[in-house]
Amino acid sequence: MSQLPLDLPHRPALDREAFFVSASNAAALTMVEAWRDWPGGKLALTGAGGSGKTHLAHVWAADAGAVVVDAVDLPQSDLPALAEIGAVAVEDVDHIADLPTPREAEAALFHLHNMLSGAGGKLLVTGKGAPARWRIATADLASRLHAAGLATLGAPDDALIHAVIVKIASDRQLDLDPRLPAFLALRLDRSLASIAGALADLDRQALAVQRRITVPFARQVLGL
């Protein structure tokens, strides 16, 4: 018999200890950790979806005493209170262009940038691709983002893919066959977002049929 699996939230580990360093992200990590010396007090952290931008933003926030906010929430945020903290990470700035009224979020980010800059604060912005591709309509904001230092998370290598599989399984408290991470690393799409989706599928199906996640089970569920 199968059960209806509940889509219970799980809390990913976003601390420095859980951030696996590989050739694909070492340079970006070095730049983020050198936040005291960012030119102009700002850095743009870029990479594909699921590449680790959020994790690295939280690593920086813990080190710098910063707060992490989503770019689309800025119009409703208390900007002076954020600026008073002195260090802010604004995630997914590239999503602003998809809002019904993007100018409001752009204006909020522009004011936050200027308040932090005037007080000697630090600003980390994240998004897919370089800031020049973020479709920012406000020219003054676009020029300020283009002037930020750039740290890019590269395509994941084999070591990172294996480590991410183990980490997500740990976050979800999955009971995996020890052979499974290596099996999946060789067969899944080399995208961290795809890996996360595959493990979520395995989690749901394993809960539904009350089975351990083995290599044959993964082969069947994921069509590998």
What residue type is assigned to position 8 of the chain?
Answer: L
Are the beta carbons of 71 and 54 closer than 8 angstroms?
no
Dihedral Cα 76, 77, 78, 82, nearest 10 deg: -170
Are the beta carbons of 185 and 169 closer than 8 angstroms?
no
111 CB contacts (<8 Å, ≥6 apart)? 79
pLDDT at residue 15, rounded to an integer: 52
Phi, psi (rounded to 5 degrees) for 120:
75, 25
State how beta strands 122-127 and 42-46 pair.
parallel
pLDDT at residue 3, rounded to an integer: 37
Are the beta carbons of 156 and 51 closer than 8 angstroms?
yes
pLDDT at residue 211, rounded to an integer: 87
Phi, psi (rounded to 5 degrees) for 46:
-125, 160
What are the residue ranges spanned by the domains of the chain? 16-152, 158-222
pLDDT at residue 4, rounded to an integer: 36
3-state secondary structure of 202: helix
pLDDT at residue 18, rounded to an integer: 58
Q: What is the pLDDT along the chain (224 residues), one digit of tens a residue?
A: 333 333 434 445 455 555 777 888 889 999 999 999 999 999 999 998 777 898 899 999 999 999 999 999 999 999 999 999 999 999 999 999 999 999 999 999 999 999 999 999 999 999 998 899 999 999 999 999 999 999 999 877 788 788 888 888 888 888 888 899 899 988 888 777 788 888 889 999 988 988 889 999 999 999 98
The class that CATH gives domain 158-222 is: mainly alpha
Structure pTM? 0.75
45 CB contacts (<8 Å, ≥6 apart)? 28, 32, 53, 56, 57, 124, 125, 126, 151, 152, 153
| Six-digit token string for 202 | 């395995």
Are the beta carbons of 163 and 22 closer than 8 angstroms?
yes
| Six-digit token string for 87 | 């260090």
Are the beta carbons of 48 and 128 closer than 8 angstroms?
yes
Conformation bin of residue 13: beta by default, left when phi > 0, alpha when psi is -120 to 50: beta
Q: Alpha-carbon distance 185 to 24, whole Å?
A: 16
Q: CATH assignment of 16-152?
A: 3.40.50.300
DSSP class of residue 46 equals: E
